Structure 1
Amino acid sequence: MTQLGEIQQAILTGEPAAVGSLPVPESYRGVTVHADEVGMFEGLESQDKDPRKSLHVDEVPVPALGPGEALVAVMASAINYNTVWTSIFEPIPTFKFLKKYGKLSPLAKRHDLPYHVVGSDLSGVVLRTGAGVHNWKPGDEVVAHCLNVELEGPDGHNDTMLDTEQRIWGFETNFGGLAEIALVKANQLMPKPDHLTWEEAASPGLVNSTAYRQLVSRNGADMKQGDVVLIWGASGGLGSYATQYALNGGAIPVCVVSSPEKAAICRKLGAELIIDRSAEGYKFWKSETEQDPKEWQRFGAKIRELTGGEDPDIVFEHPGRETFGASVYAARKGGTIVTCASTSGYLHQYDNRYLWMNLKRIIGSHFANYRESWEANRLIAKGLIHPTLSKTYPLEETGQAALDVHRNAHQGKVGVLALAPEEGLGVRDEEKRAKHLDAINAFRGA
């Protein structure tokens, strides 16, 4: 049996603490992109770029463990849109991030390699910890959030997201979670929710924390009871958590989706006010350069029809260019547009008269700090927020999983198994799981 096989066996037989006495292998399999292939999609439109061609499963060396760090045996991971961006080398190849990070210190130099092990989610078991790590030990079952910070300067000590050396692990750093072993900083670790399988526990990390900060935190929209919250892509990886937070927090979600099937998922979560963009036929752009304010008005009228005449207090934005003009228009006077991404394009255009004359605010929100991530994970562990996993692939088919997300041919989150040989493993509290099984499986098979 290989060294990784021995580690896997110890975990699967319910003896994770035994991994501390087992040797760490010299290499592992990781999903990578290659620096010498960054031009492979040149001349193609974004939608025509195929992650299956650029994402490889390679045997790579285990990185040296530094102070404050941990090596984790990865049981499962998940796909986020940043892995799609990495795989199609947009908006820039991630090797530029790794090169910049590598200049920071001799320790950071490890990340500047001709290959990039990707992935910003994981669930697994701590294998080893570096010097100065006190809160975690080999054998601990964990999930990881994706905030990588140095905190050597003052800027990040009020909100670690403001650290001058803030990066997203597995996107702007190497040795990410789509692999059999991952390297993280110890302050990325959180307890694995004990009622979830490995793949379920791995799936919330990035999107759950992002939605928490964007919608609930004082650093984001600071949602309160009764707020009308317009949620774009409400059944997707990010929007499905925003929908849950709105419902849990006493707000009124207005869920924007693109098919009857996605509308059905939102209803299953408990949402009642739903707009099917495809059925309504909204076309916010007349051409590549001109938007259609009449469509904004028609969209706003539909929202008021559903809410009994109220405009959104908060617009949960992430599509970006395609929807941003409509979002600024639709928010109520004094309302908030909070944005965390731009999956349809980064160059946003909107009519500023609707912003300045109606005293609206645009808030930029990016991932979450450790405290926010911990709170978001705590809600998962308590069964108050649930995973939105719809499908799981083996590590070898990560390219297909990323293609699903790239083409929006998915619901909720798409998972990836690493050392877990099959789905359904890793549950430690069956009684708690039984109470929430319908909610946990809400997106399955969607």
Structure 2
Amino acid sequence: MDQIRDAILSGDRTEETYANLSIPATYRAATVHKDEVDMFQGLTAREKDPRKSLHIDDVPVPELAPGEALVAVMASAINYNTVWTSIFEPVSTFGFLERYGRTSEYAKRHDLPYHVVGSDLAGVVLRTGPGVGKWKVGTEVVAHCLSVELEDADGHNDTMLDPQQRIWGFETNFGGLAELAIVKTNQLMPKPTHLSWEEAASPGLVNSTAYRQLISKNGAALKLGDRVLIWGASGGLGSYATQMALAAGATPVCVVSSPEKAEICRAMGAELIIDRSAEGYRFWNDENTAQDSKEWQRLGKKIRELTGGHDVDIVFEHPGRETFGASVYVARKGGTIITCASTSGFMHEYDNRYLWMNLKRILSSHFANYREAWEANELINRGLIHPTLSKTYPLEEVGQAALDVHQNAHQGKVGVLTLAPEAGLGISDPVKRARYEAEINRFRDA
């Protein structure tokens, strides 16, 4: 593994160099263990600690299947799906691996007593499986997390509709929080040359998700002039939605949970900001009572104060249960509520009168197809959207990194160094970087 790291750090990207490197028998990876799925039984979600369930293990290097690549991972990042995996909620991911393992001979590799997690990476291609033509060893890459088989007709108009669609590193094994990772080559995209390894690794999942949810014709199809309410606007997902809204000529109304997070939104260029901690909204008094519609009305009034009397055209939803009733209420007549997650709970409740009588739409969005992910990556590459990396941990501290995200103690994205010995490496176009240095660093240590 040291030889692989040294080759990458040298800057040599010739095929011959990487083809001649030996692949080790094992590699270090962040894992959860099948025999520990009940370790948090009886605790609330908030009390479950990823530091106890995420392990750093030496695991065997799997055989490559046709159409796959083995990537040396220089850096990865934490997403909420890794938090779910680490606290075994809403279900253990080992059920995903077992079901996948029954689908084919090659899929059997994924059904193991451990799960290598992580749905982002930046690194270098080391090997490719049979049938791969486009991607050569020695190529610097990032990866999106859509894994598809495309053996069914349903996936050929939009690959997110493939019945065998899975999220790599969450519903499959051999994820990116490791020194090596296995991906399908149709997950690979070029690494932006002006970014470090950890910066390049951080946008993949959330940037692609925000792009489909907000911009794509498969999502809300944001247009010039739209007003969009963005929950968690300084977070991993919302920070990209905020940038996209601004770049598209829309007006984001950013909802955050602290003055510090409000300042981050202002640094991105947003002007209309709602600090939930200052406003003290309580949409629910407790889990067993109806929501307080007066609090929805108070939020709607605040939005109109900021927008000059207008309701929002789009609500960018991902908290779920805690906010969904309010989201349905505050969208304008004929507006759209688009949801991609439920980080505060999966069972949503809302007053349907405000939906049906006002001709609003609830749309669903889940990650992105390859084309959408590629376009989202191009926005990063062109300097139209920037990484929102705030902090980076070494692989040994992946549990703490996941805890930060679990407890919402972070801003933007939290990165993890895997093979990279330190942050700041991997920048091959410093001239291009110099044009965007301030934007790249605005979340740093926030």
**TM class by shorter-chain length?**
over 0.9
SS at match of 1:265: helix
Unaligned runs of 5+ in 1: none
Q: Which amino acid aligns with 2:55?
A: H
Q: Which residue in 2 is equivalent to 1:7?
A: 4
Q: Which residue in 2 is equivalent to 1:364?
A: 364
User: Distance in 1 between the 2:60 and 2:363 partners?
Assistant: 41
Q: Which residue in 2 is equivalent to 1:159?
A: 158
Q: C-alpha root-mean-square deviation of aligned residues, in Å?
A: 0.5
TM-score (norm 2): 0.99
Show CA shifts across 1:11-62 (max 9, x none): 0011133222111111100000000000000000000000000000000000
User: Distance in 1 between the 2:400 and 2:90 partners?
Assistant: 21
Q: Which amino acid aligns with 1:9?
A: D
State whether structure 2 residue 317 is matched by structure 1 residue 317: yes
Residue 219 of structure 1: how far off its partner (Å): 0.3
Q: Which amino acid aligns with 2:237?
A: L
User: Distance in 1 between the 2:206 and 2:11 partners?
Assistant: 29
Q: Which residue in 2 is equivalent to 1:349?
A: 349
After TM superposition, list the pairs within 5 Å mapping 1:266-285 onto structure 2. 266-285=265-284
Q: Which residue in 2 is equivalent to 1:444?
A: 444
After TM superposition, list the pairs within 5 Å mapping 1:280-319 onto structure 2. 280-289=279-288, 290-319=290-319
User: Distance in 1 between the 2:384 and 2:80 partners?
Assistant: 25
User: Distance in 2 between the 1:253 and 1:397 partners?
Assistant: 35
User: Distance in 2 between the 1:286 and 1:125 partners?
Assistant: 50
Q: Which residue in 2 is equivalent to 1:231?
A: 230
Q: Which residue in 2 is equivalent to 1:251?
A: 250
User: Distance in 2 between the 1:198 and 1:83 partners?
Assistant: 20
**Would you say how many aligned residue pairs link Structure 1 and Structure 2?**
443
Q: Which residue in 1 is equivalent to 2:416?
A: 416
Residue 287 of structure 1: how far off its partner (Å): 2.5
Unaligned runs of 5+ in 2: none
State whether structure 2 residue 241 is matched by structure 1 residue 242: yes
Show CA shifts across 1:388-439 (max 9, x none): 0000000000000000000000000000000000000000100000000000
Write out the 4+ residue segments of structure 1 that deviate beyond 4 Å after TM superposition: none
After TM superposition, list the pairs within 5 Å mapping 1:19-168 onto structure 2. 19-168=18-167
Q: Percent identity?
A: 77
Q: Which amino acid aligns with 1:237?
A: G
Q: Which amino acid aligns with 1:135?
A: K
User: Distance in 1 between the 2:114 and 2:280 partners?
Assistant: 43
Q: Which amino acid aligns with 1:401?
A: A
State whether structure 2 residue 13 is matched by structure 1 residue 16: yes
User: Distance in 2 between the 1:227 and 1:47 partners?
Assistant: 36
State whether structure 2 residue 163 is matched by structure 1 residue 169: no
User: Distance in 2 between the 1:287 and 1:156 partners?
Assistant: 41
Residue 273 of structure 1: how far off its partner (Å): 0.1
User: Distance in 1 between the 2:378 and 2:145 partners?
Assistant: 16
User: Distance in 2 between the 1:440 and 1:217 partners?
Assistant: 24
Q: Which amino acid aligns with 2:108?
A: K
Q: Which residue in 1 is equivalent to 2:338?
A: 338
Show CA shifts across 1:64-102 (max 9, x none): 001000000000000000000000000000000000000
Q: Which residue in 2 is equivalent to 1:184?
A: 183
Q: Which amino acid aligns with 2:138?
A: G
User: Distance in 2 between the 1:354 and 1:135 partners?
Assistant: 50
Q: Which amino acid aligns with 2:442?
A: A
